[in-house]
Structure 1
Amino acid sequence: MSYQLPKFRHPELPVNDLGYTKADYEGAISTLCAGCGHDSISGAIVRACHELSIEPHKIAKLSGIGCSSKTPTYFLGNSHGFNSVHGRMPSVVTGAALANRDLLYMGVSGDGDTASIGMGQFAHVARRNLNMVYIIMNNGCYGLTKGQDSATADRGSASKKGDPNLYSSIDLCGTALQMGATFIGRSFSGDKEQLVPLIKAAMSHRGFALIDVISPCVTFNNNLASTKSYEFVREHSEATGTIDFVPMHKEITTEYEPGSSHEVTLHDGSSIHLYKVDDSFDPFSRRSAMGALEEHRNEGNILTGLIYMNKDSRDLHEVIETSQRPLNELEEVDLCPGNKMLVNINASLR
């Protein structure tokens, strides 16, 4: 059986500003279960990159271990890729980003890969505000090892096995808020109209951008007793509002009513428009975002959309003042300036 997509495409497929069709951003055929929410997320990433007209070789996709971490094979086949050790994706991205700041880094992880074995690395990459997009494909179970409850499974929620989960869950959006992440969103794999603009905004944000995507596991965690099932999420999802992303080369217009929308210009000149459903919610306040998350959690609902964004974010490169030239382009004379420079440095420290 071949797992390669057919090379034949309709000759009149729409192209982006670079002349690429959406097929140029695809990968191999997915081997995940039919109906898996992860495949929908892969499709949303393909669509977002195509519509943003990003050159595939300018993107680096990295992952850990799990069903979610297999997905980089299924999108951006012409981009750089690295499948790392379980829970250690953040440290690999950090090293890559410090070596070459010119690439756009996308980390893909799961609720087990992030909230269990990788929790320590997740917390530190968030607080350091590394310039990356961190997508969590959250299904509340370990789908790769037969459906055990993960750390994001809600208390009382039951997977296919039928036993209710005894422990409180980890809210990764809330954790990221506390750790200092500067862009936080949540979405549902079955809602591309919300997910695609969130991915576009995250890719244009300077700093650590988290998107927690509820992605039902159709094999082990898509039953009536699960809070990560398609039916439950569709019935209990509450959005912060409607988000729209406007690239900088397009005219910035809005049809929202005066006083009910927020427009934020990002570092690259692109713009985010957010139409808020609840005027009491402030997506630019950590305290307001944390309160909104807790309020909806207590009501048994899942808050989706743009939850928090720091408009004045300074990423890790700015904080530690790294070289504007990527480290992988520096010559030996730049990295080893010689004994005289070392003598001067030592003298300045005496």
Structure 2
Amino acid sequence: MTYIKPKFRHPEMPKNTIGYAKADYEGVISTLCAGCGHDSISGAIVQACYEMAIEPHRVAKLSGIGCSSKTPNYFLNNSHGFNSVHGRMPSVATGANMANRDLIYLGVSGDGDTASIGMGQFVHAIRRNLNMLYIVMNNGCYGLTKGQDSATADQGSVSKSGSVNPFEGIDLPGMALELGATFVARSFSGDKTQLVPLIKAALSHKGFALIDVMSPCVTFNNNAGSTKSYDYVRDHIEALAEIGFVPEKEEITVSYETGTTVDVELHDGSVVHLQKLADGWDPRDRQAAMRRLQAAKTEGEILTGLLYIDPNSKDLHEVIKSDLRPLNSLKEEDLCPGSSILDLINEGFR
């Protein structure tokens, strides 16, 4: 069996506005289990980047360890990539972002990689508002080590082996909201209509953007007792809104009935359209989002959509007032301005 895709392409294959075909955003053939939700997420990333006409070489994709962290090999084959050790992807992303602020940073992680060994890394990337898209492929189990419950497995859920999880599950979007994340969303790997515009909006957001994606493990956690199975997720989803994304240069032609839509303009001029399905919900109200999440959890629902966004977000570079130039482009004279400048700095502390 080969994992290399054929290079032949039909000469009339559609191209986006910068001349790239969708195949230019793909990777090698997936080796994940057939039907794995992670492959659907990879497909959504490909679709979003193709539609946004992002040049692949402008993207840096990063991951840790786990089934989810294998997926960067399956999309954006012509992008920069770094597969870090278990749970340390946010540190690598932070260092890379500090060195070159001009790249688009896309981190992929799993519920084990994020909610267990990588928890300390995850929370500090949030509080620093690192400018990146952080996708969690959440299946509630450790798929690489035969399906043990992960930290996001819901209390009372039953594994394929029949054991009941006695511990409270960690709610990553709720934690992100508490820590001050400026873009928080949840989706389902089987809902491409919702997931693709969420990814597009997150890539356009300035600051830390979390998308927690319910991605059922077809091998170890798709049984009747699992709250992360396809059937359970489909039966308990409650969407907050129907979402649309309009790029800066595209004419806005979407329209809804008066009073049922929210438009959020992002830093680059693009617009997120939200046709509200939930009464009294505003995606710019952090406290309302936290209350809505808690209510859904109490009722056994899985809340999906854009939960919260801060359209005035300031990312880490803006907070620490770093140089507008990528740090990796600075020369010796920029980094070592001379003893006279050092004397002035020291004088300022006296």
Interval containing the TM-score (normalised by the shorter chain)? over 0.9
C-alpha distance in 2, partners of 1:292/1:260?
18
Once structures 1 and 2 are overlaid, which stretch shifts more, 133-142 or 310-319?
A: 310-319
Once structures 1 and 2 are overlaid, which stretch shifts more, 280-289 or 212-221?
A: 280-289
Matches within 5 A, 1:273-284: 273-284=273-284
1:332 equivalent in alignment to 2:322 = no
Query: What residue in structure 1 maps to residue 201 of structure 2?
Result: 201
Query: What residue in structure 1 maps to residue 168 of structure 2?
Result: 168
Deviation at 1:9, TM superposition (A): 2.1
Deviation at 1:162, TM superposition (A): 1.1
C-alpha distance in 1, partners of 2:292/2:334?
49
1:246 equivalent in alignment to 2:246 = yes
1:63-111 CA-to-partner distances (Å, cap 9, x unmatched) read 0110000100000000000001111111110010010000000000000
C-alpha distance in 1, partners of 2:84/2:338?
36
Q: Give the total of aligned pairs.
A: 350
C-alpha distance in 2, partners of 1:271/1:10?
34
C-alpha distance in 1, partners of 2:6/2:108?
25
C-alpha distance in 1, partners of 2:113/2:23?
29
C-alpha distance in 2, partners of 1:139/1:10?
37
Contact 1:186 1:303 in 2 (8 A): yes
SS in 2 for 1:258: coil
Deviation at 1:48, TM superposition (A): 0.2
Code of the residue aligned with 1:182 in structure 2: it is T
Query: What residue in structure 1 maps to residue 219 of structure 2?
Result: 219
1:242-273 CA-to-partner distances (Å, cap 9, x unmatched) read 00000011111222111110111111011100
C-alpha distance in 2, partners of 1:60/1:316?
17
Contact 1:141 1:150 in 2 (8 A): yes
Deviation at 1:282, TM superposition (A): 1.5
Matches within 5 A, 1:68-87: 68-87=68-87
Code of the residue aligned with 2:105 in structure 1: it is Y
Query: What residue in structure 1 maps to residue 65 of structure 2?
Result: 65
Deviation at 1:279, TM superposition (A): 2.5
How much is the aligned-residue C-alpha RMSD, in angstroms?
Answer: 0.7
Deviation at 1:161, TM superposition (A): 1.1
C-alpha distance in 1, partners of 2:125/2:147?
28
C-alpha distance in 1, partners of 2:253/2:259?
15
Code of the residue aligned with 1:146 in structure 2: it is K
1:116 equivalent in alignment to 2:129 = no
Matches within 5 A, 1:269-308: 269-308=269-308
C-alpha distance in 2, partners of 1:22/1:194?
19
Deviation at 1:349, TM superposition (A): 1.1
Contact 1:154 1:227 in 2 (8 A): yes
Moved over 2 A (4+): none
Code of the residue aligned with 1:105 in structure 2: it is Y
Matches within 5 A, 1:1-350: 1-350=1-350
SS in 2 for 1:347: helix
Deviation at 1:181, TM superposition (A): 0.4
SS in 1 for 2:288: helix
Deviation at 1:195, TM superposition (A): 0.2
In the superposition, the TM-score normalised over structure 1's length comes to 0.99
Which structure 1 residue ranges, 5 or more long, are not aligned?
A: none
C-alpha distance in 2, partners of 1:150/1:49?
30
Give aligned-pair identity as a percent.
69
Contact 2:267 2:311 in 1 (8 A): no
Contact 1:260 1:279 in 2 (8 A): no
Contact 1:216 1:230 in 2 (8 A): yes
Code of the residue aligned with 1:87 in structure 2: it is G
Contact 2:173 2:184 in 1 (8 A): yes
Code of the residue aligned with 2:181 in structure 1: it is A
C-alpha distance in 2, partners of 1:76/1:257?
38
C-alpha distance in 2, partners of 1:13/1:190?
26
In the superposition, the TM-score normalised over structure 2's length comes to 0.99
Code of the residue aligned with 2:100 in structure 1: it is N
